[in-house]
Amino acid sequence: MNHRYNIKIFFYLLILNYFSVNLYSQNEKKIQFVGTARSILNNDDILVKDDTITSKSNMGGYALIDLGVNILPNKNTEILGMIRIKNQLGGFYGAGVTFDVRQLYVKGIISNVVRYQLGDINYKLTPFTFYNNDYDDLMQHPQVFNIQKDIVNYETFYKNNTWRQQGAALDFSLEFSKFLKEIKFNGFINRINVTDFNTVPDRFFTGGNIGIQQSKNVFVGFNYVSLFDLSGTSQNNSGFNNNVSSINYEVKFAKDNLVETRLFGETGLSNSGYSDVTSAPKLNDFFINMGISNFIKASHLKFSLSYLNVGPDFRSAGAQSKRVNYNNTPSFYDRYTNQQSLRSIGLFDLIRDEKLYNRSINSDGLMAYNPAYNNAMPYGIATFNRQGVNSKINFNDPKKILSLEIESYFLKELIGQGTPKLKSFKIIKTNAELNLKKLISIENNFKITAGFSFQSTIRNSEVNYEEINLNSAIVNTGIEFELYKNFDFLAGFIYNQAKGNEILPSRNIYSEVIDFNEYNINIKELMLGGGLRYRFSDKIYLAALYQNYDNSNKLNSQFSYSMNQFIIIYNMKF
């Protein structure tokens, strides 16, 4: 019954798609239908030694349509409304169906000068003010896993490092004939929390920037964001505020058209605190990020070196919000073992479980992180209490055969945690993509990707209890081979190993360190995947994938487990 229902949905969708092409004339597209349709069928199983309680196998899936109507009432206005119809596999006919509004916005231009957008807004400013940093992604994934990760990104509206917000935005620019080329003004205001008229006040996030483009080689930007509680919207007199202001700049030089040198940087200040709470500290600090990059045009080699200094009390809710909420529990097999213990989030969950991800910035203090994956920069480049250098080398072969990226961070704390002795951090990561189609001149697509990421945290001391030595390494490789036209074979693996100890700070609601917890880990994760994909077009595909995941916990072997998944995905964008 349910499959028949799903088929019906797709049938209606195809009809809609047909009309979407035909409802408007060639020149004046007043109404367009846009959206996505997807159907997933998955069969999972889990293997845990001596576990006689957890069900071994689980089948699930869903079919959904995101149906958006893009209306252009006049040449200066655009309205988008998108509803989602979702039907869970296994629900009774109609009973498992949900209807939601997925997107709603109005945007346009006032007097051909000021652009505005109301409703859902994807927004970002700079990496220290308002930015959806992707440090939780660790590195690029092989395509056999990226199919599901792309769905997660679609569900969470992660695109170009923007955060999805609800509010209003304006921007306009002034152009000059002398001295300056252009000045751009951007502003936004978003509502983060809705008052409950009792203890929770309305919380807003607002800001903007002024970008001055002096010439094509010189740019200076002034940025400001503020997260604040609106007084009088609840019975609670205490209000939180977090303000960040910064200047970012970029100066380009070109020498003989051979080398392009770029000076870049961002420097700023933050302050945050609570009004009417005497016990809450006022946190004020600054950050500096400045560097130089060279692009050697002849060799298509780009390298950069930058200095980073982010103060221990630097707080920026818009930039330090993490994508993954490590306090969430996985959607698949959240409990396991005979004790029905909570299963912690693993790599397998990170590539496929959108419920683990934030959809908006977090304004309730610092988010939890997993030291086994990212202990050096858990809050991205805006991670506080870090000082050091970052270097990066990029190579993009003009023939598009090879692309290579190597990046490293050598960082140290600015102040210690529980001791004056400082932790030092290293991050080394590389990503490479080899296009064998171009290399050996064949017709079919043939790509190999590989990645490596290593992190270490070290604190040396004469006393044992202060010593820290935590290392983690992730390796991945993927292959994408077009067997026949539009019919791809995909395979890959991701391997992660984390071993060592850390002493993690425990913070109160004001983000002050009040205690420490010893953390010891020795885990190995191996994820293998293989499958087939048929691309009907650039926007439509059908994929069948098999994935195996093994999580081996050396310190607590009873929590080791392995999982398998067979999944069929049909995805279509229109």
Partner 1 sequence: MKNIIKYNLILLAIFVFACKPNKKFEGPELSDLYGDFKIIDSLICSIDSVDFSINQPIFFKAKFTKAVDWKISIKGLSSGAEKIINGKSKLIEITNSFWTGNTSTLPMFTSENCLVSLTFLTEKDTLNSSVKVIKPKINSGYLIADFESGYNNLWTKFVQSGASMDCQIRNVKPIPQGDNFYNMAGTVNWDWLVSLIDFNANANGVDRFPLNTNPNNIYFNAMVWGEPGLDNTLLLFQFKEDDNTNGTFESSSEDQYDYQLKIDWSGWKLISIKYSDLGTLVNGEPAIPKGNKQRNPNNLVRLSVLHLADPSSGFAKTKIDYLIFTDSKSLEP
Residues binding partner 1 (CB under 8 A)? 251, 253, 261, 263, 265, 267, 286, 288, 290, 292, 307, 309, 311-312, 414-420, 463, 465-466, 503, 505, 512-516, 518
User: Under a CB-based contact definition with an 8 Å cutoff, are residues 491 and 500 in contact?
Assistant: no
Q: Give the whole-angstrom CA distance, residue 524 versus residue 504.
A: 21
Q: Give the whole-angstrom CA distance, residue 426 versus residue 377.
A: 10
Strand pairing partners for 401? none
In the bound state with partner 1, the residue whose beta carbon lies nearer, of 47 and 218, is 218
Q: Least distance from C-beta 217 to partner 1, angstroms?
A: 11
Q: Least distance from C-beta 387 to partner 1, angstroms?
A: 8
In the bound state with partner 1, the residue whose beta carbon lies nearer, of 232 and 418, is 418
Residue with tokens 């995805």: 571
The amino acid at 170 = L
Q: Least distance from C-beta 288 to partner 1, angstroms?
A: 6
Residue with tokens 């069969």: 43
Q: Least distance from C-beta 297 to partner 1, angstroms?
A: 17
Q: Give the whole-angstrom CA distance, residue 373 versus residue 390.
A: 19
In the bound state with partner 1, the residue whose beta carbon lies nearer, of 170 and 218, is 218
Q: Give the whole-angstrom CA distance, residue 553 versus residue 91.
A: 36
The amino acid at 566 = F
User: Does an H or E element contain 185, and which?
Assistant: strand 182-193
Q: Which pair of tokens denotes residue 140?
A: 């690029």
Q: Least distance from C-beta 261 to partner 1, angstroms?
A: 7
Q: Least distance from C-beta 282 to partner 1, angstroms?
A: 13
Q: Least distance from C-beta 253 to partner 1, angstroms?
A: 5
Backbone angles phi, psi at 437, to 5 degrees: -60, -45
Q: Least distance from C-beta 212 to partner 1, angstroms?
A: 17
Backbone angles phi, psi at 356, to 5 degrees: -85, -10
In the bound state with partner 1, the residue whose beta carbon lies nearer, of 142 and 265, is 265
In the bound state with partner 1, the residue whose beta carbon lies nearer, of 187 and 416, is 416
The amino acid at 300 = H
> Which long-range CB contacts under 8 A does 504-511 form with residues at least 24 apart?
504/371, 505/417, 505/418, 507/365, 507/366, 509/365, 510/274, 510/279, 510/280, 510/281, 510/365, 511/283, 511/315, 511/365, 511/366
In the bound state with partner 1, the residue whose beta carbon lies nearer, of 223 and 476, is 223
In the bound state with partner 1, the residue whose beta carbon lies nearer, of 302 and 459, is 459
* DSSP states of 12-80: HHHHHHHHHHHSS-SS---EEEEEEEEEEEEEEEEE-TT--SS-SEEEEEEEEEEEEEEEEEETTEEEE
Q: What angle do CA 293, 299, 305 make, to 5 degrees?
A: 20
In the bound state with partner 1, the residue whose beta carbon lies nearer, of 288 and 458, is 288
In the bound state with partner 1, the residue whose beta carbon lies nearer, of 39 and 272, is 272
In the bound state with partner 1, the residue whose beta carbon lies nearer, of 94 and 420, is 420
Q: Least distance from C-beta 422 to partner 1, angstroms?
A: 9
Q: Least distance from C-beta 463 to partner 1, angstroms?
A: 7
